Amino acid sequence: MIDGFQPARNERAIGETLAQLERAGATSADRVQLRFSFAASGVRSAIELATTLRTGRNNRVQVRPGPRRRLRTHCWNVIVTTPPAPLRRTAIQLWSAQMEDVADTHPGSRIVGWQPLVEGARRV
């Protein structure tokens, strides 16, 4: 797993992440899950976003309270983990674009970023 989330739809970040994974011993034959993180402005936005993300086949979705910024505002984190797929640039690009599109259609929600979860690769 790469520490920290990478920006979505960022070709440079995708390339750098793939290079890090290759240095860690991962190959295109490895299967990768992608973990996407979203921020939602309220619990209702988070639940609506999570409901949409759960319609994706075999996606695992979690909703968690985020850190409190002010006394009355509370952000919620929505985390989705995709099913395993081959470790390829095109797969990451496709998932990233789809997740950004989902965030764009849910007012009060934004994508924070993504990170790969690779079976058998050491932590980078």
Asked if residue 3 belongs to a domain, the reply is no
111: pLDDT confidence band, cut at 50, 70 and 90?
A: very high
Structure tokens at 22: 């290759």
CATH number of the domain encompassing residue 41: 3.30.70.970
- How far apart CA 67 and CA 76 sit, in angstroms, is 8
Asked if residue 1 belongs to a domain, the reply is no
Domain residues for the domain of 82 are 11-118
Asked if residue 33 belongs to a domain, the reply is yes
Q: Which residues pair with 5 in a beta bridge?
A: none
> What domain count does the chain have?
1
Q: Which residues pair with 56 in a beta bridge?
A: none
Question: What's at 120, amino acid-wise?
Answer: G
So what's the pLDDT on residue 3? Answer: 61
For the chain, give the percent of residues with pLDDT over 70: 88
pTM equals: 0.84
